[in-house]
Structures are given as structure tokens and as C-alpha cells.
């Protein structure tokens, strides 16, 4: 990727399709939170330092620290894995880092550059798993249950994400896949760099138990100060606390939340803040489908659902999009825009089928999923006034 990554990538906002695995349903409501059955946490490995190494490959073999001036009061933002071998880590003072490794190379953070790489990463991820809660420039949660029916498929999806990120950006990432956020988050950190951990349902507590209590998301320095003197030094020990002991060590509601997390109980869903800018219907097939006539029939049925939704809401759409997901979970979409908005099922179906054919000419293959979407929504009344 010499130099800068591509600009102008897709918008980070996306829709959550709420549907059973083998049926279709239109996305018709605003969604802020969804609770996936399979969630992954993705964490880019030593992100700032990794970007600096891509920009200057000579740094790869040197202890590299991204952060403030070691002669001042700066802190370490991140360090590459060579520097970590000297005990340097994020949030350490830069002065301590240079003391531990006098030959370390220090570079100042370049946040605009990191944002460019981050945008490219998350655009790539959304090409495989559309629904993402990005919690930071270098990490976020993925609703893998949206594209995988079980944890065996979820592993394949996670491997596809990891491979796609590496191919698109030359960056490595680690992923944890689990039934809940807390296990996924701990899992993504378990085999860095470039690792993948899958925690199957029922094994969340056993997986978390051996880890240092500080590794549990939500246990900060103050909680640690209360827990360690009482011998609660692992996640498993926190999970085993009785109610009275828990109230003594961690009073208030925070104690119960942390004990639940230590037991692998975490009802948090992905937090999304999206705008309704489109209507879409999609269907995942029980077996991959390659017959063009059957695919056309599927699309025309979806087009009828989309048209009915437009008509109920009193809207027309100027853009029609057909979505194709292949057996390897990669996604392609083809769109066309019109001068005048439409809400007619036959017109939408005709356009969707043409777009499907175009997509299959570009990349032939059996499809796991197809979808029809419309955007550029305009209210009837607005359209009528605009034409006067």
C-alpha cells in the first residue's frame, strides 16, 4: 500500500437486519441497539506503531514507541512488539520507556494518518460483516450472527475478516468470537498478535476464569485495589464471590455487574446510532444458489416487499441496489440511480435483476445471500411540491 490509503470510503453507519436466518424482512425502523447471538471483538494489533512501520519499513526491527517526548512529560500511546519485549506498554511515561530501552525510536502520533487507515479497515470489515459497533479507532464489535448461523461458520467469517484486513491494509488484527461482548473482548486479547479465539456457548465462565482480574472489562484501578488484598486476583475468584463479600468489596450496582461479567453473563448488545436512509430486504439461503432464474424470482419477491414498504410510508426511491454475498462471505453490491423516484414493484424488480446479472458477470459463483435495497427516499408530497 505505498503511502496513504484510499480516501472517500463508505460511511460508517449501517443498518441492522432483524430477521430469522432463512427468511427475509425489510429494514423499516430506526435501530440503536441489537443483541446478536454471536459477537466478535476485533482489535488491530499495536495499531499506531503498525501504521508507522508500514510507512517506514525500516522501523519493523527496531523498538518503536509512538507517543510524547521522552525528555518531557509525554506518555506512550502504543509500542511495537519489539519495544514491548523491553516492558514498554501503553500509558507508561515516555521517560520510563526510554529508561527501559535507551535505543528505542520515538515518533509523535499522526492521528490524521491513523484515521485514514482506520477508515479503510472498517470499510473492509463491513464488506463481510455489515453491522459494526466501532468503539475506537482500532477496535470494535461485529454482529457475526448476522452472517453466520453457528459458531463453526462464525470462525470462518472471523478468519475471512482477518484475511481481508491483512490483504486490504497490510495490518494484522486479533479477534475474539463469543456469545457475549465480555468474552469476545477478552478473547481478542488472548492470542495477540494476529490471533483468533472462539468461545462457544456455555464455556464463557470457564474461559474467563484463569485471567487476571484486571483483564475483565470494567475492572479499573480502584476496583483492583479493593479486590487484590482480599485474594480476588483472577476473574474466576470474582465470579465465585458471595453476595455479602461482593457488597463489602464492591458496593453498589457495579459489583453485581462485574460479577455477572466474570461469570460470562453480559446482556449488552451492539450500540448503533443510524439514520433511516434506505429500505432493504435480503434472504440467506439454506444452500448456496446459482440458478439465475431462481435468483431472479427471489429478487422479484423482495422487490414487492420493498415497494409495499415505500407505498405504506408514502415515499419513492431514486436508487436501487442489489446485494450479493458469496460462499466465502464476501459481499458485492451493484446500484443504479434514476432521475425520478419509483415505488413500483415491477420496475424495482427489473432493475434488481439486471444488477444481479451485472454482478454475476463481474464475479460468477453461487450465492449465499441476495438482497434488494432502495435509497434516495423522497416523500410523495415533497416530490409534488418540487415539481410545481
* pLDDT at site 329: 82
Which pLDDT band, with edges at 50, 70 and 90, does 384 fall under? very low
Q: Is 176 exposed, middle or buried (0-12, 13-18, 19+ CB in 10 A)?
A: buried
pLDDT of residue 274: 52
Dihedral through CA 156, CA 159, CA 163, CA 165, nearest 10? 110
CA 146 – CA 270 distance, rounded (Å): 12
Residue 10 predicted with pLDDT over 50: no
Q: What is the mean pLDDT of residues 240-268?
A: 94
- Does residue 219 have a pLDDT over 80? yes
Mean residue pLDDT of the chain comes to: 86
Q: Which of 52, 53, 133, 139 is catalytic?
A: 139
Give the three-class secondary structure for 87.
coil
Per-residue confidence band for 107, with pLDDT thresholds at 50, 70 and 90: very high
Percent of the chain with pLDDT over 90: 71
Instruction: Using the structure block, give the residue that is written with the C-alpha cell 470494567.
Output: 218
- For 246-258, letters b (16+ CB in 10 Å) and e give beebbeeeebeeb
pLDDT band, residue 145 (cuts 50/70/90): very high
Q: What pLDDT is stored for residue 4 in this prediction?
A: 39
pLDDT at 9: 27
> Does residue 175 have a pLDDT over 70?
yes
Q: With bands split at pLDDT 50, 70 and 90, how would you rate the model's confidence at 11?
A: very low
Distance CA 30, CA 2 (A): 40
Q: What are phi and psi of 286, to 5 degrees?
A: -65, -35
pLDDT reported for residue 35: 55
Q: Catalytic: 139?
A: yes
Give 211-215 contacts, CB < 8 A, sequence gap 24+: 211/186, 211/235, 213/237, 213/238, 215/186, 215/189
Spatial CB neighbours of 63, under 8 Å, sequence gap ≥ 6 = 79, 80, 82, 83, 85, 86, 88, 101, 103, 104, 105
Look-up: residue for cell 411540491? 385
Strand partners for 324: 332, 370
CA pseudo-torsion sign 269, 274, 279, 285: negative
Query: Could you tell me if 280 and 372 are in contact, meaning their C-beta atoms sit under 8 angstroms apart?
Result: yes
Residue 202 sits at φ, ψ, to 5 deg, of: 90, -10
What percentage of the chain has pLDDT greater than the value 70? Answer: 87
With contact defined as beta carbons under 8 Å apart, do 79 and 65 qualify? Answer: yes
Reported as a pLDDT band with limits 50, 70 and 90, residue 72 is confident
Set of cell numbers at residue 292: 439465475
15 confidence band (pLDDT: 50, 70, 90): very low
- The secondary structure element, H or E, covering residue 65 is strand 64-67
pLDDT bracket for residue 73 (50, 70, 90): confident
pTM: 0.69
d(CA 387, CA 179): 52
Neighbours of 183 (CB within 10 A): 27
* Rounded distance between C-alpha atoms, residue 293 and residue 146, angstroms: 26
Listing from the earlier edge strand, what are the strands of the sheet with 76-79?
Answer: 76-79, 64-67, 105-107
Cβ 363 vs Cβ 351: under 8 Å: no
Per-residue confidence (pLDDT) for residue 335, from 0 to 100: 94
**Full 3-state SS string of 89-126:** CCCCEHHHHHHHCCCCEEECCCHHHHHHHHHHHHHHHH
Amino acid at each position: 500500500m505505498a503511502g496513504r490509503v484510499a480516501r472517500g470510503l463508505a460511511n460508517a453507519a449501517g443498518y441492522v437486519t432483524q430477521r430469522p436466518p432463512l427468511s427475509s424482512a425489510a429494514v423499516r425502523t430506526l435501530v440503536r441497539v441489537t443483541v446478536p447471538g454471536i459477537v466478535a471483538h476485533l482489535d488491530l494489533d499495536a495499531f499506531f506503531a503498525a501504521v508507522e512501520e508500514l510507512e517506514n519499513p525500516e522501523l519493523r526491527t527496531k523498538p518503536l514507541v509512538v507517543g510524547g517526548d521522552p525528555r518531557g512529560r509525554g506518555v506512550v500511546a502504543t509500542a511495537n512488539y519489539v519495544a514491548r519485549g523491553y516492558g514498554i506498554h501503553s500509558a507508561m511515561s515516555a521517560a520510563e520507556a526510554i529508561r527501559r530501552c535507551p535505543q528505542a525510536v520515538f515518533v509523535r502520533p499522526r492521528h490524521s494518518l491513523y484515521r485514514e487507515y482506520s477508515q479503510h479497515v472498517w470499510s473492509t470489515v463491513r464488506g463481510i460483516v455489515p453491522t459494526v459497533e466501532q468503539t475506537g479507532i482500532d477496535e470494535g464489535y461485529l454482529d457475526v450472527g448476522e452472517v453466520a448461523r453457528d459458531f463453526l461458520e462464525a470462525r470462518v467469517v472471523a478468519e475471512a475478516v482477518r484475511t481481508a484486513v491483512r490483504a486490504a491494509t497490510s495490518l494484522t488484527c486479533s479477534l475474539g468470537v463469543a456469545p457475549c461482548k465480555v468474552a469476545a473482548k477478552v478473547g481478542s486479547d488472548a492470542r495477540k498478535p494476529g490471533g483468533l479465539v472462539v468461545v462457544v456457548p456455555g464455556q464463557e465462565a470457564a474461559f474467563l476464569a484463569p485471567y487476571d482480574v484486571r483483564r475483565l472489562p470494567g475492572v479499573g484501578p480502584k476496583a483492583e485495589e479493593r479486590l487484590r488484598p482480599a485474594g480476588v486476583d483472577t476473574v474466576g475468584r470474582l465470579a465465585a464471590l458471595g453476595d455479602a463479600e461482593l457488597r463489602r468489596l464492591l458496593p453498589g450496582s457495579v459489583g453485581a455487574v462485574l460479577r455477572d461479567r466474570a461469570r460470562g453473563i453480559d446482556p449488552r448488545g451492539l450500540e448503533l446510532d443510524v439514520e433511516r436512509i434506505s429500505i432493504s430486504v435480503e434472504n440467506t439461503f439454506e444452500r448456496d444458489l446459482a440458478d439465475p432464474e431462481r435468483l431472479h424470482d427471489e429478487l422479484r419477491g423482495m422487490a414487492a416487499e420493498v415497494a409495499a414498504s415505500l407505498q405504506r410510508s408514502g415515499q419513492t426511491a431514486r436508487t436501487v441496489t442489489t446485494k450479493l454475498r458469496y460462499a466465502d462471505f464476501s459481499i458485492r453490491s451493484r446500484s443504479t440511480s434514476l432521475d425520478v423516484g419509483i415505488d413500483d414493484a415491477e420496475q424495482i424488480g427489473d432493475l434488481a435483476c439486471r444488477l444481479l446479472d451485472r454482478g454475476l458477470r463481474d464475479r460468477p459463483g453461487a450465492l449465499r445471500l441476495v438482497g434488494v435495497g432502495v435509497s434516495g427516499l423522497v416523500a410523495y408530497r415533497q416530490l409534488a411540491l418540487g415539481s410545481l
